Structure 1
Amino acid sequence: MTTIRQGAAAALWQSAVREAETRSATALDEAQESYLVFVLLRHQNDPDLLARVQALEWLRAQESLGRTRTDALRDVGDRCLLIAGLYPALAQRRRVSVDYFTTLGRGAYRDVAEACRNAYAELFAQLAAHYEALVQVLRGLRDGPLLMAQPAVTPAAPATWPRGLH
């Protein structure tokens, strides 16, 4: 198996996201696309992604202050985005709708936007407003091949991905 450096992984994820935009007929602007690549990079090695209970994580975030709070809310928004787009079967197993994760994640991003007063706030307000588009692109990513130019090279080694991405 080929070892992929961070830069190479970012380029692969960016290419995969662009292909998913085409497949899903959903256009993201540069900031949205870049942020989605960032989310995929940050969580590609997260073995606990599907084990966390996002509502409890959101409640814990609400009890925090300052940067700790905004970072925790961002993480909830990111994980809900990945679950809604890449792991919709998890919602069924937990007896909730995919819209549950979309609503919770969008709300977490709005909370981040409201807590900040800079470009970070603008970015998260935009991400919250276009949350459904981000989910659609992830569904396009999920439904298509993941950069299979060479069978051994993917954006992340499949063994490092949380179970359930097929």
Structure 2
Amino acid sequence: MAHQDLHIPQTTGWRALLTHAQTTGGVHLSRAVEEHLVALLYRHVGADISPADLEQGLVDRLDRLLHADTSRPNVVGDQCLLFAGLLPEHAIRKGVPVSYFVEIGRNAYREYASKHRVALYETLADEFVAAMDVLQTLRALGSGEPCIDGLNAYNLWHDLGSAHGWRVLRALTPSLPASCSTSARVH
């Protein structure tokens, strides 16, 4: 695997924002996943960022990622992670559940890990939901609003264990979501 040598001053802003989003969201990423996210965000979004400016121009900057070589599963995984984490409202507007990007992205990372025996991509698959949660928290820090709706928040929380999905649900309603179970428990 080619290692990109990014200089500390170039990535400090992203590292600080990701640390803040992890703390705010109560999610902890492994160092390897955090480093991958820093490099990914720096490469595809840029260096001059602030939480308030994150959404502005993000679609234009990520357009080149859409045209990347999708025959490589690691690129597909990166695309899905960025769209599920930073641009989920675009999928929601088209009627595509955010969980679709999670499943495609995790599977792409796992495929790449098994073919190339690169442990980082297995870790990315395992921590995909946590990484998405951090990116969605990052978006919420900038805009003050969640970037997912209640239905997607419920699905991400219920089906995938998303901490951010749970926080969005709790912000939308004081009621606790019902949990579906196949057998009722009586105490």
Could you state the TM-score of these two structures normalised by the residue count of structure 1?
0.67
From 127, 131, 136, the counterpart of 1:134: 131
Query: What is the root-mean-square deviation of aligned Cα atoms in Å?
Result: 2.4
Partner of 2:83: 83
- What is the total number of aligned residue pairs between the two structures? 124
Cα displacement (A) at 1:9:
3.2
Q: How far apart, in 1, do the equivalents of 2:10 and 2:136 lie?
A: 20
Please tell me whether residue 38 in structure 1 is matched to residue 39 in structure 2: yes
Q: Which runs of 4+ in 1 moved over 2 A?
A: 5-9
2:17, 2:103 → 1: CA distance? 25
Structure 2: 5+ residue stretches without partners? 1-5, 47-60, 144-187
Amino acid at match of 2:130: A
Structure 2 CA distance, aligned partners of 1:103 and 1:91? 14
Shift of 1:94: 2.4
TM-score for the superposition, normalised by structure 2:
0.60
1:48 and 2:45 correspond? no
Q: Over residues 102-137 of structure 1, what are the superposed CA-to-partner deviations in whole Å (9 max), with x where a residue is unaligned?
A: 1111111011101113xxx11111110111000001
Which residue identity does 1:48 align to in structure 2?
Answer: D
C-alpha separation in 1, matches of 2:25 and 2:63: 27
What is the aligned-residue identity percentage? 35
Q: Which moved more, 1:40-49 or 1:85-94?
A: 40-49
Per-residue CA distance 1:78-100 (angstroms, 9 max, x = gap): 11101101111111122210001
What are structure 1's unaligned runs of at least 5 residues? 62-71, 147-166
Once residues 11 and 92 of structure 1 are traced to their aligned partners in structure 2, the CA distance between those partners, rounded to angstroms, is 32
Structure showing greater radius of gyration is 2
